[in-house]
Structure 1
Amino acid sequence: MSKYCQNCNAQLSGNFCSNCGQRSDTHKINLHFLWHDIQHGLLHVEKGILFTVKELFTRPGHTIREFLQGKRVNHFKPISLVLVLAGIYGLLSHYFEINLLSNNIEITGSGEKFEQAKSTVENMSTWISQHYSVFALLQIPVFSIGTYLCFRKAGYNFIEQIVINAFITAQKLIVHIVLFPFYYLFNNTPYLKTTARLTDVIGYAIAFWTIFQLFNMYGYFQRTWRTLLSLIIPLIIVLLTLLLLSKFILN
């Protein structure tokens, strides 16, 4: 039985497609795929990064679906992309001493417990700023819970949902990097908080567009509420986690 390339549909006769160069065996997306992706991201930066960025801001849902189906040869791998972008953003934030998380969290009150809570939050935000690649990776499984629960009938396993949300995380990081000149301009002013919140709104708008376009097997109304819910669920998880942490800190 003839075998065809998952990327360009050309007939295969060896380990690589003679037309586009993709491997004939694209492998299922699983834990081994993610581990190889992380190793690759730590050692290589390839030409596919510009193509992937362009696709993520012109036809994001379609390109992620095609990646999951096997069209991968032209793409920069998602976890690698997050590592590279988070590294760039973390380096910029550290060098220019810009901490968006610290500026977005307000703790009011007085007394020893509040001072302790304030100190803990400041230390935590500083750690995140200095280890942004780790923080970016830790966000991905949390956001994957939302899309996994809301779009289970689409047939993607949880590891594939991690790939989806790695691409979405990359989109958000690119928005942060593009708007970084404004962070620098408004640093240590009240406008920094406003700019950071505007960036969050842009990031969630792009995420909505991506998820809505990706899961086109659902009807328009179902896609709309499922997409909204998939973005709300991770926020609830984060909020509950912060509430538990605050109780632990203040007790």
Structure 2
Amino acid sequence: MNPKSCLNCGHKISDEFCSHCGQKADTARITPQTLIKTDILGSIWHIEARFFRTVKHILFGPGRMAMDYISGKRIKYYNLFSLLLILFGFNVLTMHFYLHLNPAEIPEGSSNILDFFSKYSKTILFVIIPMLAVNAFFVFKRKKLNIAEHFIIGTVSLLGILILLLFNDMVSLIGLWKPAAKIFAILDKASVVLLALFPAVTYWNAFKNSYSKPGLLWRVSVLYVLMGIESLAVIIVLFRIF
């Protein structure tokens, strides 16, 4: 049987994919059937499956997922930086809807502070990644990861924070319905606790096989102290400048 030629680049195909450009060997003329099955439904399912798989791994095994990603196991995950932008956009939308539907939640005299955080929230959030990366590079030095690899762990940690923030905003929105207010107030407080603990969970999950529990505990504690001091400094500087 003669090998087929790739319709994209013209190279001979002997396997499922073209070894030169990566296009699938079964690519053929577009028909109504293939348009619906492959081009529309197939692409949507492929994107959604990777998206939700990545979200699941971030929530239930963030450190392990980050280490897998660093080690080269990336095909099953959605692009981390695209996911970061998507989640940030959803967070901005849900917060906007919440404040629009519940203006009483804005304390008197705090509009300037809210305007500041609304305008510079992206800067504040995204500066968390390099801060986490630099601090963790020194705190977890025994692992011998480079700064870019620590950047990935920091990104996964921030993704988890954004997912929990989105959950928190959605809980707050549903909590505006009075009959469910008490239940969702409890969920709201629980999600805030998870938000605060998520970076610790990420680094514990990533390095639990590299350090003893006491060694890992003091390193995570030092990381939190450094992040708290640096985050406060960034907020003060931005607030005074702008």
Does TM-score exceed 0.5, indicating one fold? yes
Q: Is the CA contact (8 Å cut-off) linking 1:146 and 1:230 kept in structure 2?
A: yes
Partner of residue 179, structure 1: 168
Q: Is the CA contact (8 Å cut-off) linking 1:147 and 1:161 kept in structure 2?
A: yes
Q: Could you list the per-position Cα deviations for residues 83-142 of structure 1 after superposition, in whole angstroms to 9, with x for gaps in the alignment?
A: 11111111121233269xxx79x99xxxxxxx8xx66423312314xxx55553233212
SS in 2 for 1:96: helix
1:228 aligns with 2:221: yes
Q: TM-score of the superposition, structure 2-length normalised?
A: 0.65
Partner of residue 140, structure 2: 151
1:169 aligns with 2:171: no
Partner of residue 138, structure 1: 127
Partner of residue 214, structure 1: 206
The 3 A distance-change label for structure 1 pair 15 and 147 is: farther
Q: Could you list the per-position Cα deviations for residues 176-224 of structure 1 after superposition, in whole angstroms to 9, with x for gaps in the alignment?
A: 222323322556xxx9999766533212323212211201212221111
Partner of residue 11, structure 1: none
Once the two structures are TM-superposed, the CA of residue 163 in structure 1 deviates from its matched residue by 1.1
Q: Is the CA contact (8 Å cut-off) linking 1:87 and 1:133 kept in structure 2?
A: no
The 3 A distance-change label for structure 1 pair 79 and 222 is: same
What amino acid is aligned across from residue 66 of structure 1 in structure 2?
D
The 3 A distance-change label for structure 1 pair 194 and 230 is: farther
The 3 A distance-change label for structure 1 pair 241 and 212 is: same
1:51 aligns with 2:53: yes
1:202 aligns with 2:194: yes
What amino acid is aligned across from residue 240 of structure 1 in structure 2?
A
Q: Is the CA contact (8 Å cut-off) linking 1:90 and 1:133 kept in structure 2?
A: no
| Bigger radius of gyration among the two | 2
SS in 1 for 2:155: helix
What amino acid is aligned across from residue 56 of structure 1 in structure 2?
I
What does 1:17-56 align with in structure 2 at a 5 Å threshold?
A: 47-56=49-58
Identity across matched positions, percent? 19
What amino acid is aligned across from residue 232 of structure 2 in structure 1?
L
Q: Is the CA contact (8 Å cut-off) linking 2:157 and 2:202 kept in structure 1?
A: yes
What amino acid is aligned across from residue 199 of structure 1 in structure 2?
S
Structure 1 runs (4+) greater than 6 angstroms displaced:
191-197
| Count of aligned residue pairs for this structure pair | 194
Q: Distance in 2 between matches of 1:210 and 1:220?
A: 14
Q: Distance in 1 between matches of 2:93 and 2:56?
A: 23
Partner of residue 69, structure 2: 67
Q: Distance in 1 between matches of 2:47 and 2:93?
A: 17
The 3 A distance-change label for structure 1 pair 229 and 197 is: farther
Once the two structures are TM-superposed, the CA of residue 144 in structure 1 deviates from its matched residue by 2.2
The 3 A distance-change label for structure 1 pair 176 and 221 is: same
Q: Distance in 2 between matches of 1:197 and 1:50?
A: 25
The 3 A distance-change label for structure 1 pair 127 and 242 is: closer
Q: Can you give the 5+ residue segments of structure 1 that lack an aligned partner in the other structure?
A: 1-13, 18-43, 108-114
Q: Distance in 2 between matches of 1:124 and 1:195?
A: 27
Q: Is the CA contact (8 Å cut-off) linking 1:89 and 1:176 kept in structure 2?
A: yes
Once the two structures are TM-superposed, the CA of residue 48 in structure 1 deviates from its matched residue by 1.3
- The one of 81, 94, 106 equivalent to 1:92 is 94
